[in-house]
Structure 1
Amino acid sequence: MKKLFCIQYSRQHRPYLPMPVIIIMVMVVTALSCGKADLNNPVGISDAIPQLVTVTSVENISGGAIIRYNVPKDDNVNYIEAVYEIKGKETKKKGSFYTNELLLDGFPDSREYKVSLYSVSFSEKKSEPVVVTINPATPPYQSVAQTLDVAPVFGGIKTTYKNPTKSSLQITFLEKNNQGRWTEVQTLYTSLDSGTFYVRGLESRLYQFGVVCRDRWQNVSDTLTVSSQPLHEQLADFSRIVSYPLPGDITYEFPLTGRQPHHTGAGTGVGNVPCLWNGETHAPFSKSPFFFFQNTTAGLPFSGLPSSITIDLGRRYQISRFVYWPRASSSTTIQYNYIFGTTHVKTFELWASNNPSTDGSYDSWTKVGSFESIRPSGNTAPGNEYNTEEDRRIAVTGESYDMPEDISAYRYIRYRVFSTWGAQPFWASTELQFFGNPQN
């Protein structure tokens, strides 16, 4: 049988409640007594018009302005809002209660614009406007367009640019179609402070090009019209290229288990040096092996970095450019696990010769140049998580490095790797390609 217990307390034996508990109970009772409608009301004085914001300074910058202000001492103010027009369309920008400045950008021209600043309450009540005048400096898309310098190169054209504000921009080459309309040839996406943009694979004939610069607000510069005739260039003939290992080079035919290659931990699809010029640059691959991977086993002859391979192009070329494709991670689909990370080559040298010494020394070689891999986005942290979509295009296009324009014609190339993006003591690649003007 269950028993019910009723405990009664006399005045002398009331239960003791700590002060924090009493405070919490009072708060709960107070909240419940306010009613459901009160709980749904905005925080603050909902019916009051907030006080005016006080503007302290206006700093005009490229394509925009920074407006600094003092937030009114008003508990009813939730945020500060700027309202202005760009190309006839109303634009709004909010500033937090906890900041004292607003960055306004995206203006297409360098001229005066009126900006209305409001204090806005928690119930979205606006103060009277405080109107200021800004006069943005020349926007980045226009100033960059003014610096473009277009010139013919082997197999294409190039344009150099300067982008000191590191704005996110698109530089597009256009060509007129048969109907006389401009059509896109190629577009560069960049936020670097300067660089060179190439359009490749063109015939050696006279072209009429248009070049425009566009920002992320779709503001577009005037079309720069140029005439250019690319120099003759062709891809080095794969059928002539062979590995030409010299003492000190990677060969992977070490006498650990006879003359078998040793690619410890590299996964499937890995091959020796000659797979670097099999003509396939990215997935899906029809050939196997489809990428090269330097042996990770410490203690092997010539393991670690720097490491080198020597290539016989089969004939002399006045080399115009060298293209490197990072390691591929799948034979069926394009993946980006190794783009600007792990075994992706970061710094290297190219050497050239027509009569290399058989002792492996560099005495008979000419240094073509020292090179460094730089992301299109400019990000320096290794790993795919730091790649932009523009960075990931490298998996398809490869990284292109231009040679000095006064380079002589050479048959033998030595590729010497010093470091990788992932700081690994070994490197990998799907393909290496050389372009230039073949010599008899």
Structure 2
Amino acid sequence: MKNINIYGLKFLLYGLLLMVIVSCKRDDGFNAPVSTDLTKPGVVTNIKVTNFNGGAYITYSLPNSPNLLYVQADYRINGSTTRQTKASYYTDTVTVDGFAKSQDYEVTLHAVSRANVMSDAVVVHVHPLTPVYLMVKPTALLSADFGGVNISALNPLKKPIGLILIAIDPSTKGYEIVDQHYTNQDTSNYSIRGYNTTPRKFGVYVTDQFGNVSDTTFATITPIFETMLDKGKFFKYLTATDSPIGYGWELPYLWDGKTDGYSNGWHTLPGAPAPMQCTFGLGVNAKLSRFILWERPNEFSFSHANPKDFTLWGSAKASPADVLLPKSSPIGTVVGDWTNLGNYRYPDPPSGLPPGLAANNPSDQAFVLAGVNFNVSITSPAVRVLRIDVADTWSGGDYAHLMEISLYGNPQ
């Protein structure tokens, strides 16, 4: 029995050695054709063109060539860039795209055999509709924002585009790229901050994944003054509809500057109906631009009673009347003395992990500890008193907690 196993082992080793020898054949850098049939395939026929934004679908009848492998389209999309698209013999359509303009273009089609033999060329004319990046260009607008410039654009077809912001560089005295924003969302509206209130010339242009670039829209922008509001002026403004606070986590801890999770913050008691709510005064009348929110970190990250969906309400009155505010409403809704300044959702874990596992992920923890920035619409009114309404927490429970908030804007 022992000898049989040894012989069997020898045959196994010989087989493995043979496999290694075959797999390690010297590669001369030449890929042999999958066929030795050098017959030239026929050409595609019955060609039809369906144009779309920036491209076209070319439909055809395949040649009666048993050795056919694919159809190849070669074309120039702008003055210097060429593209090549292939479609297997399983389909009767090849897609050509990336064209820079809505105009006539030539596309050369070849049927290609398994031996890499090309058919005679067939030239097709396409006339793409307006490319997406050129559709977006007229909608790309620049406007003043707190500490910088706001960029907005519309992309109704939701195709990949890039919004490129440029500005004069003090050292080079020329225009340099200061931000690149890539998206396939239908609406873009974001701000680039960090500038003083000196007028500055900005430009924005649109690009796509094919390297096409639009003209540049220029505007002279005077950024609006922005500063972090003085937390020393904040004060508790207790109202009857505010949620009961517990565990020694009193409301002033929400602006004491401590974000590490080992200090106290704001914490409501269980049992109160949603939305969980707190109200506080700013000590000044301020037009808000944004705020940074720190949720409770460590094992509570993306879980427990940390807010998931919440609304920021504000009042311009020094002593606004209390009122039960709706759990959800459009931005700008006015209820009594209060205006909805924004509806917000805390971001999902950047790692893509489920919320429960994200608490143990270092990058997700760092994200929470850094605080999350939320913008306030520039059209929102100046306010003196704020109210945070938590509609939903990560656990879906009936109480909420937060570590810290920092508010930015222009004190009046």
Please indicate, yes or no, whether the TM-score normalized by the shorter chain is above 0.5.
yes
Deviations 1:285-315 (A, max 9, x none): 8x444897978xxx92226x43223233232
| Aligned AA (1:98) | Y
Residue 416 of structure 1: which of 370, 389, 397 is its match?
389
Q: Residue 435 in 1 paired to residue 408 in 2?
A: yes
Match of 2:138, SS state, is helix
- Say if 1:329 and 1:93 are closer, same or farther in 2 by CA, change over 3 A: farther
**2:233 — aligned with what?**
240
Match of 1:142, SS state, is helix
> How do 1:367-386 residues align onto structure 2 when only pairs under 5 Å count?
367-371=339-343, 373=345, 384=352
Residue 167 of structure 1: which of 154, 159, 163 is its match?
159
| Aligned AA (1:167) | K
Across the aligned residues of Structure 1 and Structure 2, the Cα RMSD in angstroms comes to 4.1
Match of 1:136, SS state, is coil
Query: Distance in 2 between the 1:50 and 1:338 partners?
Result: 60
Q: Residue 215 in 1 paired to residue 179 in 2?
A: no
Give the drift of 1:163.
1.2
Q: Is 2:342–2:376's contact at 8 Å kept on the other side of the alignment?
A: no
Moved more, 238-247 or 306-315: 238-247
Deviations 1:234-282 (A, max 9, x none): 22223333555544545651xxxxx356xxxxxxxxxx866655668xx
Number of corresponding residues: 357
Deviations 1:41-88 (A, max 9, x none): 866673222222235321222222222223334332222211112343
**1:24 — aligned with what?**
none
Q: Is 1:338–1:383's contact at 8 Å kept on the other side of the alignment?
A: no
Q: Residue 320 in 1 paired to residue 286 in 2?
A: no
Give the drift of 1:115.
0.8
Q: Is 2:43–2:121's contact at 8 Å kept on the other side of the alignment?
A: yes
Query: Distance in 2 between the 1:371 and 1:226 partners?
Result: 30
- Say if 1:65 and 1:312 are closer, same or farther in 2 by CA, change over 3 A: same
| Aligned AA (2:272) | F
**2:135 — aligned with what?**
143
- Say if 1:139 and 1:121 are closer, same or farther in 2 by CA, change over 3 A: same
**1:401 — aligned with what?**
375
> How do 1:34-433 residues align onto structure 2 when only pairs under 5 Å count?
46-86=37-77, 87-178=79-170, 179-242=172-235, 244=237, 246-250=239-243, 252-253=245-246, 259=247, 277=255, 287-289=260-262, 300-302=270-272, 305-324=274-293, 345-346=308-309, 348-352=311-315, 354-357=318-321, 361-362=324-325, 365-371=337-343, 373=345, 384=352, 398-403=372-377, 405=379, 407=381, 409-419=382-392, 424-425=396-397, 432-433=405-406
Give the TM-score of the pair, scaled to structure 1. Answer: 0.67
Match of 2:177, SS state, is strand
Query: Distance in 2 between the 1:218 and 1:72 partners?
Result: 34
- Say if 1:328 and 1:438 are closer, same or farther in 2 by CA, change over 3 A: same
- Say if 1:91 and 1:364 are closer, same or farther in 2 by CA, change over 3 A: closer
Query: Distance in 2 between the 1:291 and 1:96 partners?
Result: 64
Give the drift of 1:328.
5.8
Query: Distance in 1 between the 2:308 and 2:185 partners?
Result: 20
Q: Is 1:70–1:100's contact at 8 Å kept on the other side of the alignment?
A: yes
Query: Distance in 1 between the 2:401 and 2:100 partners?
Result: 45
**2:5 — aligned with what?**
none
Give the drift of 1:182.
0.9
Deviations 1:180-210 (A, max 9, x none): 2112222322211123232223222211112
Query: Distance in 2 between the 1:134 and 1:175 partners?
Result: 38
Give the drift of 1:365.
3.6
User: Unmatched 5+ residue regions in structure 2?
Assistant: 1-30, 326-334, 355-363
Match of 2:136, SS state, is helix
Deviations 1:116-137 (A, max 9, x none): 1122222222222221112223
Query: Distance in 2 between the 1:62 and 1:398 partners?
Result: 37
Q: Is 1:325–1:394's contact at 8 Å kept on the other side of the alignment?
A: no
Give the drift of 1:215.
1.5
| Aligned AA (1:119) | A
- Say if 1:76 and 1:345 are closer, same or farther in 2 by CA, change over 3 A: same
Query: Distance in 1 between the 2:60 and 2:349 partners?
Result: 36
Give the drift of 1:158.
1.7
Q: Is 2:341–2:376's contact at 8 Å kept on the other side of the alignment?
A: no
Query: Distance in 2 between the 1:216 and 1:317 partners?
Result: 42
- Say if 1:260 and 1:423 are closer, same or farther in 2 by CA, change over 3 A: closer
Identity of aligned residues (%): 26
User: Unmatched 5+ residue regions in structure 1?
Assistant: 1-39, 254-258, 262-271, 332-336, 387-391
Query: Distance in 1 between the 2:403 and 2:57 partners?
Result: 47
Q: Is 1:322–1:403's contact at 8 Å kept on the other side of the alignment?
A: no
